[in-house]
Amino acid sequence: MNSDDKALFLDAMEDVTPFTQSTRRLVPTAPRPRQQIDTLQLDNFLTTGFLDVIPLGEPLLFKREGLQSGVLEKLRQGKYAQQASLNLLRQPVEQCRQQLFAFIQRCSEQSLRTLLIVHGKGRDDGSHANIVRSYLARWLTEFEQVQAFCSALPHHGGSGACYVALKKSAEAKQETWEQHAKRSR
């Protein structure tokens, strides 16, 4: 430190009073509550990277290979009763991502098969609702449990909502097999 720097420093510190042992008081603070981490969300594999926006005029439609066409057609016609629904209207993309992940996991655990997800619709391709809609279309294909999805009928939300079909659980497959075995006797 040269003499000019030392003089500037001493000049700047002229009105500073050093702490003494008697002026220092430590006040104990209450421990912060631990943040609960949702372990389910740690496994959230849904991506939020680059997004191809689906034009508003294009209906949502997806069918996993191996699914019978008749199942998708019945889904499109709203012939399956919705066993659960999720409303994603006016929520940030990250919140939608988290809610969708938890919702699909819960529905799978409860062996639900048909769902309704309301995502909203905007007036133009770049609107927030259409961004959520486009992410939803990507996210649903990332779930192994999702067999198909399509835009809903007007009375369920039309292009602002979609029907989702989940895989049958092992228990449901067994029940179906037993019902068909009884009929063939």
Residue 107's contacts (CB-CB under 8 Å, 6 or more residues apart) are 83, 84, 115, 166
Extract the runs of DSSP E, i.e. beta strands, from the chain. Answer: 61-63, 84-87, 114-118, 146-151, 161-166
Q: Does residue 81 belong to any structural domain of this protein?
A: yes
Residue that the structure tokens 């991506």 belong to: 47
Strand 84-87 and strand 114-118: the pairing is parallel
Is residue 138 one of the residues assigned to a domain? yes
Flag whether 184 is in a domain.
no
Which pLDDT score is estimated for 18?
A: 67
Q: Is residue 2 part of a domain?
A: no
Task: Say if 3 falls within a structural domain.
Answer: no
Residue 114's domain comprises 51-167
Give the pLDDT confidence score for residue 21 in this predicted structure. 56
Looking up tokens 């069918």 gives 63
* Residues 52, 62: Cα–Cα separation, whole Å: 16
Strand ranges across the sheet with 61-63:
61-63, 146-151, 161-166, 114-118, 84-87
What gap in Å lies between CA 1 and CA 150, rounded to an integer?
73
pLDDT value at position 33?
52
Query: How many domains does one find in the chain?
Result: 1
Is residue 15 in some structural domain?
no
Does a structural domain hold residue 63? yes
pLDDT digits (tens, 9 = 90+) for 14-55: 777 766 655 545 455 555 554 444 444 568 898 888 888 998
| Average pLDDT, integer, range 153-165 | 94
In a domain, 178, yes or no: no
For the full predicted model, state whether its pTM sits above 0.75: no
3-state secondary structure of 142: helix
Sequence-distant (6+) residues with CB within 8 A of 158 are 121, 151, 152
Q: What is the CATH number of the domain that holds 160?
A: 3.30.1370.110
CB atoms within 10 A of CB 172: 14
Which residues lie closer than 8 Å to 156 by C-beta, 6 or more apart? 78, 82, 116, 163
pLDDT tier at 91 (50, 70, 90 boundaries)?
A: very high
